[in-house]
Amino acid sequence: MKKWKVLLFSGLVLFSITGCMSLFTALNIEPPVSPEASMLVLEAEDGETGGYLVNNNATGWAPLIEDENGAIIPFKMVGILANVDTIYFAENLKAGTYTLKGFRHVYTDYGLLPDNVIPSYEPYVDEPYHIRQEFMLDKPVVIHLKAAQMESFGKYSIHYKWVGGAAGTTDDRWKARPDSVKITGDSKDRNALQVLKGFTNANWAPWNERNAEVAK
């Protein structure tokens, strides 16, 4: 089977099983709301496997990025793409200063989960059954975003282990053990922008006019 078919099939399976934001988020990108609108992206990988981050209906990672007023900017996730690991992006941002503080890990505490409720991956939404863990970088990464610009915070590797994971039985089995978490990264990495530059469909074309990288 050709590689693109394998990737698409894997994406369909993952989406149907977990109901999480994955490859299909890329199709739901909003068009630029103005000629000055900008976008920020970030790439992350599972440091244990060197592949995509596992963001399923019980747990998930997301970047903690603040604007110059201290408000957290929600990022969407794109997974199961070739030549890149997990990509996060936020479109239609204003020019200004944005700071990557660290990463948030959200997991479901099954002791708090109501009957007949299926947990979802919503790292920026308050749910009574979700527990948020926040792991800060030793040195925050700052971007002075210009108008009509696509810019990247780089690529980050998140090493972590769950309390129990799928084999666990405790209510906090999807919790990331704080003593196991280690985050490293390269803020200069341009891979995410280079891969996205190759997206030529109607959703991404107007954004990639603001992307100064060369497609891979």
pLDDT one-digit tens code per residue, 120-132: 878 999 999 999 9
Query: Residue 110's pLDDT band (boundaries 50, 70, 90)?
Result: very high
If one counts the domains in the chain, the total is 1
Please say if the pLDDT value at position 24 is more than 70: no
Instruction: Examine residue 157 and state whether it is found in any structural domain, yes or no.
Output: yes
Amino acid 27: pLDDT:
59
Q: Which pLDDT tens digit goes with each residue over 44-56? A: 999 999 988 887 7
Q: What is the 3-state secondary structure (H, E, C) of the chain?
A: CCHHHHHHHHHHHHHHHHCCCCHHHHHHCCCCCCCCCEEEEEEEEECCCCECCCCCCCEEEEEEEECCCCCECCCEEECCCCCCCEEEEEEEECCEEEEEEEEEEEEECCCCCCCCCCCCCCCCCCCCCEEEEEEEEEEEEEEEECCCCEEEEEEEEEECCECCHHHCCCCCCCCECHHHCEEEEECCCCHHHHHHHCCCCCCCHHHHCCCCCCCC
Average pLDDT over residues 70-74: 97
Please check whether residue 214 lies inside any domain of the structure: no
Residue 213 falls inside a structural domain: no
Domain region containing 83? 3-208
